[in-house]
Structure 1
Amino acid sequence: MKVVILAGGYGSRIAEQSQYKPKPMIEIGEQPILWHIMKYYSEYGYDDFIILGGYKQYKIKEYFANYFLHYSDVTFDLSTNEMKVHATNSEKWRVTIVDTGLDTMTGGRLKRIEDYLGSETFMLTYGDGLCNVDLSALERYHRQHGKVATITMANIAQQKGVLEVDNGRINAFREKENGDGVLINGGFMVLEPKIFEYLDGDNTILEGEPMHRLVEDGQLMGFRHDGFWQCMDTQREHESLVKMWNAGSAPWKIWD
């Protein structure tokens, strides 16, 4: 199953760093948060990624183009213009990076890669959020209920999309309200290709009309997650994630 990662926004609320690089490339430890997200998915066996770039998307391409150089011992023979790789410590990932436009909205970015996904069920998440949700259980839940979309419902007080839920079925989806111990849209979604029928052009915001139409059609389900979840919208949130990582207590680090 392919994993689609939204990575094209400006990251204006963390401009201290995003003025130099796209937000998904901001480091936690020595690796960008995008790498942490991909490592987490990979531990569950999801290794085929499509990254939806936009703002400074060339930085993401350069990172993966030079990925093996960061983790390999190499000899450069400048007299012969040859390079020898002695050892590699790479990943088993397949990574497709698509330039989905500078100002394209989330739904528009997804719509642009419809041909890359065809008739496959796929996963979708944001390139600035980490959690420790059970991805295998999430996929099973999605396949069991047979609806178009499943989103992970994070139980946390944040200013995110507030959900009203009845037996897993989402009856209301409201964006950007003050949360107080409520369930919110935490990303980490599973979607059927029918989702593209709910998307129009570049100005489509996935969390807007498409989500509301899914609710009206009874096609949006929620997978409750009471564990760790954290987005990286601000410098303070970034510092919190870095602190967890440096202390060896990052809940999302499930790999050796």
Structure 2
Amino acid sequence: MTLPQRVGVLGGGRMGAGIAHAFLLAGCEVTVVERDAQAEASARSRVLESVDRSLARGADGTRERFEAMLHTAVDVAAFAGCGLVVEAVPEDRALKVEALRRAESSLSSGAVLASNTSSISIDDLSSTLQRPRRFLGLHFFNPVPASALVEVVMGAATDPALETAACEWVAAIGKTPVVVRDAPGFASSRLGVALALEAIRMVEEGVAAPADIDTAMELGYRHPIGPLRTTDIVGLDVRLGIAEELRDKLGDRFEPPALLRRMVAEGRLGRKSGRGFYEWSEQ
């Protein structure tokens, strides 16, 4: 199945901009909807800056072409005519439910709605929608332009035919799909958070410094980036939210370490705040 000619992204933050970037470079007309005019302008700038970096690395196309293919708005009515809309608002259930309902109201009956959630149940989210058969998870990874993976999360109510379609779409934007059923943390978040939490406990216990823990995983297990640097890139607040979700669903083995809670309370969120387990102010 070919990519939809028009793709929508609800939310133009770091993740949403990255998702928009991926579909733009694949040749889709992309509409990004944000909450207000200021956020809309920031989202457009963010997407085009990402496009510029790809063009500098040799991507096909011109800045002018991608500018013309990128549309932004503050009203979900702009999604009319989109064959696929991906929700990419922050990882909060109530916020996602409200966003998904608004997006669905603007779509045709045949359009596909997807959530970029990294841990919230697809079945739970679909239960709030009018067309759960046309809904699934498309879990992209940060930073989207550099990431090669997308989790295709199939809910119990998802039309089985969407599995093939979604995998083909993911391949068409140059990434590799993995299909998982709806389960707490899916595959990647569950495993990634388990590793990160144990690494944070090791720092908390004074076992080793963050850089040494990361180097052990990078050189010993060939991880491209260690779990603590990855946590800084993802955001400590995001890691904390996912850990709490998994603890509620899977038990105390996902209880967040006190160090993680303290760092989030102090505003040490990782790269986006300039400081986490590493200093990012000059990177």
Task: State TM-score, norm by structure 2.
Answer: 0.32
Higher relative contact order (CA 8 A, sep 6+): 1
Higher percent of residues as helix: 2
**TM-score, normalised with respect to structure 1:** 0.35
